[in-house]
Chains A and B, each alone.
Chain A
Amino acid sequence: MSATVELSRIPAVATRRRPRAGRARYLVGAGCLAIATVMLLPLVVSVAASVKPTAEAAASPPTYLPHALSLDSYQRLWTYQQGLPTYLLNSLGTALLAIAFTLVLTVPAAYALARFPIPGREVIFVFLLLALIVPYQALLTPMFLMFARVGLTNTLVGLAILHTAIQLPFSLYILRNSFSAIPRELEEAAITDGASSWQVLLRICVPAATPAIVTVALFAFIMSWNEFLGALVLMSRGSSFTLPLILAAARTETSLGGTDWGMLQAGITISIVPCVLVYLLLQRYYVSGLMTGAVK
């Protein structure tokens, strides 16, 4: 992918330091540390609150850091309502389905747009990007009615379809760029050997566009795992709630009467961990996707 931007490899803005720069360097360093601390602090105190013992987690005023460690909050979350495994599986299942749908739809379509002399190709491309112009938040009412009619409300497939509709334009855009950037000579050799277009797609184009495909899958996962409003509208039954939904519900009503703050922090921690891990592991793909996606 030619548009891939490796941040650290680009030459520095200023290559020469001026004499006054000594003090400025310490200021910049202090500023960086202060900012990093402020950004990390909410995450740190939340994870810390999730391992406070039950009584301490419910204390007012709250303690900054736990005085003792305990997994009580996680245990309560594990058995809360339908139990954490149900909600985890709902969230994970929806995200995996959304990734699968997105790739199955956009890989062939992007290949067609990048390579085939289809009449009205640009018009079709713009039509496929329709969801970029129409916010999905505005389409939820008719979507809900349609899904209710065919029994797709309260199903992971239904929610995954909505998430695919949200993610399709971005994926198509990234993949089309990536396929277009593959040198044609690679394909020509295979075609001379008598390969069909399907074989060319699977054996040459898909492997050559792996970074873009990883980027698309990564964005689909993070969007689907975190999406809230669509899930709120489509999933009304407790057993089909995703993680954000059950946590939002637990915010106000728990078995203890008031809000179970410890359990809430445990749920927040569990929701955040996959996103942070996936991001730290695939940071390069994430940033390159953002660059190509936003800087059209």
Chain B
Amino acid sequence: MPTSSRGTAVYRSRRSRLVGLAYLAPALAFVLVFTAWPLAQMGWMSLHSWSLLTPPRFIGLANYRRAVADDQFWVSFLFTLKYTLIITPVLIVGGYLLALLVSRPSALRRFTRTCVFLPVVIGLGVSSLLWYWLFSSEFGLVNRALMDLGVISRPVLWLGVDGDRSMLAIIASVVWKVIGFGMILFVGAIQAIPAEITEASLVDGASYWQRVTRVILPLTLRTVLLVTLVSVIGSLLAFDQFYIMTAGQPQNETATSVFYVYLNSFPYLRLGYGAALSLILALTILAFTVVQLLLTRRSHA
């Protein structure tokens, strides 16, 4: 709320509202043109049969009916959901355990923290290329190491041949890439717990795991929910890792929702259908956001 004090006349003069709006105008115009307008345009396009080759034709809700009846839409949607359901607990539980391990200050822990966080700043596309090589059946070090250890006797075809095996490999690569994100936020939350609280539980003679479950976890629950929200949304929007590591193979089994939007809009030029799929995706994400924000608010109160 505007609570300007006596001296800040610049902000209280009669012209100040106009001046303030002038400062805001460029950003407002930008969001209007490059976010709000494309959003409206997407809604409009989704009601049309729209390719770049023929003029758009209004077809009402036919694109949405088509999506419901489209097997590949469901394959992609369920695959994305499955991916999200598997990777989220790994990221959250793993990230939290790492945070517990490295949250106290010491040189070794700080070093470990930096190492775990390092992959977060490199690109998902680039890390996917790196793991595409590591998981390559003939040229990759994963198979080489597994064979040297005697775990497998012949090179495994990790990517693009079997849906589940591809997902396993991709999840390993993405966990490596993003687990540090949750960890660093959990470390911040754990460190923000007042020392008196943890000391009190020490005096009570609580064991380490009792302290974790009764004191640390409840006091950092809000951050856990927030990181879960960010991870779920990120996973539902997965694209780079699948495009690069499996290209959707075998038979589009590993084509995620965003991948299917991309396929329809660009290579296939079914822009109207692509727009309808985008809108369905955006609404799904919105639903998750709302549910988790409600959860977060409740835990906060």
Contacts and interface: CB of A to CB of B under 8 A. Distances in A.
Asked if A and B bind, the verdict is yes
Interface of A: 5, 7-8, 10-16, 18, 28-29, 31-33, 35-36, 39-40, 42-43, 45-46, 49, 58-62, 64, 104-106, 108-109, 111-113, 115-119, 121, 124, 127-128, 130-131, 133-135, 137-146, 161-162, 164-165, 168, 172, 184-185, 187-188, 191-192, 195-197, 200-201, 222, 225-229, 232-233, 244, 247-248, 251, 259, 261, 264-265, 267-268, 271-272, 275-276, 278-280, 283, 286-287, 290-291, 294-296
B171 interface: no
Contacts of A40: 115, 118
B53 to A, nearest CB: 13
Given A133-B289, A287-B184, A139 B278 contact: yes
Contacts of B190: 13
Interface range, B side:
35 or more
Contacts, number: 328
A111 B126 contact: no
Contacts of A124: 24, 28
Nearest to B238: A137
A128 B31 contact: yes
B230 interface: yes
Interface in B180-204: 180-181, 184-185, 187-193, 195, 198-199, 202
Contacts of A164: 30, 34
23 contacts: A8-B110, A10-B191, A10-B192, A45-B141, A61-B138, A105-B27, A109-B26, A111-B23, A115-B11, A116-B20, A131-B31, A135-B282, A138-B285, A145-B41, A185-B7, A187-B10, A228-B123, A228-B239, A251-B129, A259-B139, A261-B136, A283-B114, A294-B227
A261 B112 contact: no
Contact of A35 (B112, B202, B265): B112
B291 to A, nearest CB: 13
- A-B pairs with lowest CB-CB distance, top 3: A116-B20, A226-B123, A188-B7
A295 B122 contact: no
B255 interface: no
B122 A276 contact: yes
B35 A62 contact: no
Interface of B: 2, 4-5, 7-12, 16-17, 19-21, 23-24, 26-28, 30-31, 34-39, 41-42, 45, 98, 101-105, 108-116, 118-119, 121-126, 129-134, 136, 138-141, 143-144, 147, 176, 180-181, 184-185, 187-193, 195, 198-199, 202, 216, 222-223, 226-227, 230, 233, 237, 239-240, 243-244, 258, 261-262, 265-266, 271, 274-275, 278-279, 281-282, 285-286, 289
A118 B262 CA distance: 40
Contacts of B141: 45, 62, 64
B26 A197 contact: no
B132 A35 contact: no
A281 B4 CA distance: 38
The SS class assigned to the B binding surface is: helix
B121 A112 contact: no
A104 B26 CA distance: 9
* Residue of B101, B181, B216 with highest tally of chain A CB at under 10 A: B101
Nearest to B222: A295
Contact of A248 (B27, B112, B193, B244): B244
Contacts of A116: 2, 11, 16-17, 19-21, 23
